[in-house]
Amino acid sequence: MESKKTKGFFLVKNGPSTSAFESKSFPLRALKNDEVLIDSEAFGLNFADVMARKGLYREAPPLPCILGYELVGVIQEIGSDVPQSFIGKRVLAFSRFGGYARHVITSFNAVAIIGDAPFHEIMALGTQGATAYYMAQHMINLHQGERVLIHAAAGGVGSLLIQLAKRNGAIVYAKIGNEEKQEVVKSLGADFVIVNKSNNYDDQLRQLLKNEKLDVIFNPSSGSTYKKDLALLGAGGKLILFGAAELASAKWGIFSKLNFIRKMGFSPPIGLMMTSKSVLGVNMLKIADDKPEVLAKCMTEMIKKYELKEITSNKFQVFNETELAAAHDLLASGKSTGKLIIQWDKLFKNFQ
Q: What is the mean pLDDT of residues 109-127?
A: 91
Which of 51, 89, 90, 84 is closest to 67 using CA atoms? 51
The Cα 74–Cα 96 span in angstroms is 18
pLDDT computed for residue 137 by the predictor: 95
Output the CA torsion sign for 305, 308, 310, 312: positive
Q: Answer yes or no: is pLDDT of 245 > 80.
A: no
Confidence of residue 163 (pLDDT cuts 50, 70, 90): very high
The Cα 330–Cα 47 span in angstroms is 11
Structural domains of the chain, ranges and CATH numbers in brackets:
5-116+315-343 (3.90.180.10), 128-285 (3.40.50.720)
Least confident range of 26-30, 45-49, 145-149, 250-254: 250-254
pLDDT computed for residue 265 by the predictor: 59
Q: Answer yes or no: is pLDDT of 264 > 60.
A: no
Q: Answer yes or no: is pLDDT of 261 > 90.
A: no
Q: What is the mean pLDDT of residues 76-99?
A: 95
β-pair partners for 7? 25
Q: What is the mean pLDDT of residues 84-104?
A: 96
Confidence of residue 288 (pLDDT cuts 50, 70, 90): confident
Residue with the larger pLDDT of the pair 315 and 173? 173
Q: Answer yes or no: is pLDDT of 1 > 70.
A: no
pLDDT tens, residue by residue, 179-237: 889 999 999 999 999 998 777 899 999 999 999 999 999 999 777 888 999 999 999 99
CB 201 within 8 A of CB 178: no
pLDDT computed for residue 293 by the predictor: 85
Q: What is the mean pLDDT of residues 303-325?
A: 91
Distances (CA, A) of 270 to 80, 266, 267: 51, 11, 8
pLDDT computed for residue 352 by the predictor: 39
pLDDT computed for residue 312 by the predictor: 87
Q: Answer yes or no: is pLDDT of 256 > 60.
A: no
Which of 132, 120, 345, 96 is closest to 240 using CA atoms? 132
pLDDT computed for residue 133 by the predictor: 97
What single-letter DSSP state applies at residue 15? Answer: S
The Cα 125–Cα 132 span in angstroms is 9
Confidence of residue 156 (pLDDT cuts 50, 70, 90): confident
Q: What is the mean pLDDT of residues 242-250?
A: 60
CB 160 within 8 A of CB 302: yes
Residue with the larger pLDDT of the pair 20 and 1? 20
Q: What is the mean pLDDT of residues 247-265?
A: 48
CB 238 within 8 A of CB 275: no
The Cα 238–Cα 209 span in angstroms is 17
pLDDT computed for residue 45 by the predictor: 95
pLDDT computed for residue 351 by the predictor: 40
Q: What is the mean pLDDT of residues 42-64?
A: 93
pLDDT computed for residue 263 by the predictor: 53
> Which of helix, strand or coil describes residue 259?
helix
pTM of the predicted protein model = 0.84
Q: What is the mean pLDDT of residues 76-98?
A: 95
Confidence of residue 155 (pLDDT cuts 50, 70, 90): confident
pLDDT computed for residue 233 by the predictor: 97
